[in-house]
Amino acid sequence: MSEIVTARVKSGVCTVTLADEERRNALSVDLVADLMAALDEAEADPSVRVIVLTNTGSVFCAGADLTERTGRAKGSDPAKAFAPSDLFARFVRSPKPYVGRIAGHAVAGGTGLVAALDISVVVDWAKMGFTEVRIGVAPAMISVLCLPKMQAADARAALLRGNRFLAPEAARLGLINAAVPQADLDREVDSIVSDLVAGGPNALAATKQLLAQVPSMDLDAAFEYTAKMSGELFRSPEGQEGMAAYLEKRPAAWIPTDT
């Protein structure tokens, strides 16, 4: 693992930390490559049930690396700058749940990164915002992730104004799940992770499929799709184990024993 992205696995949880404090965890080519590698490893590890994304320093992610985008970074090529769709889309498509432990500011692409995660908790002093228009660009690709979470009037104001707002306002807008005091961040994240590891891995993957696909289906197609999924899950070994564990009043086999 690199110095700018670290990862550790404990009790079924892989914590991936953005640690490029010098560049405020901007989405540079190097940081994104290292992050993608860490996520690939976590997703391929069957012992990892939940992936937590967090940061060191006071900034979770400052968005695009502008020195690379303008070609001012040594050896950089603006044509090869990172396209966020490759990173952001993986959170939606991954069968494993992603939790954001956001311990700092997150603006522009950083706001999109936070919104892309399944569940995000942010320290209440952190600032977020769609600041792209202030530098002459638009919050283009992150709008794919953020607009479905927001009311239309709120989205128009936030994306067009380009202003920064505190995490509690981000929670009101639907971009994050909660804004909490720094002292409560770990307790809130631990509670979420504890709930997630209690769910069956295949059940969680199926639920993520439902969240991604059902909203765009018409009624008949949605019922057909979900009926088939429900039957398969009830008949599956995981479903049978889960029901047996419930009836026998014992933990299901998939719950890490050291949690």
pLDDT tens-digit series, residues 80-123: 555 678 899 999 999 999 999 999 999 999 999 999 999 999 99
| CA-based nearest residue to 12, from 48, 42, 46, 40 | 48
pLDDT, tens digit, 9 for 90 and up, residues 116-153: 999 999 999 999 999 999 999 999 999 999 999 999 99
Whether residue 26 contacts residue 64, with contact meaning beta carbons closer than 8 Å, is answered with: yes
Q: How far, in Å, CA of 143 to CA of 108, rounded? A: 10
Q: What is the mean pLDDT of residues 164-184?
A: 98
pLDDT reported for residue 74:
61
Looking at domain 5-196, its CATH architecture is Alpha-Beta Complex (3.90)
Long-range contacts of 234-237 (CB under 8 A, 24+ apart): 236/202
pLDDT at 41 over 80: yes
Q: What is the mean pLDDT of residues 2-9?
A: 94
pLDDT at 76 over 60: no
Q: How far, in Å, CA of 129 to CA of 56, rounded? A: 20
Query: In what order do the strands lie in the sheet containing 164-166?
Result: 59-61, 105-107, 127-129, 164-166
Q: Examine the residue annotation and report whether 21 is marked as an active-site residue of this protein.
A: no
Q: Which of 21, 132, 169, 238 is catalytic?
A: 132
Q: What's the predicted TM-score (pTM) here?
A: 0.93
pLDDT reported for residue 86:
84
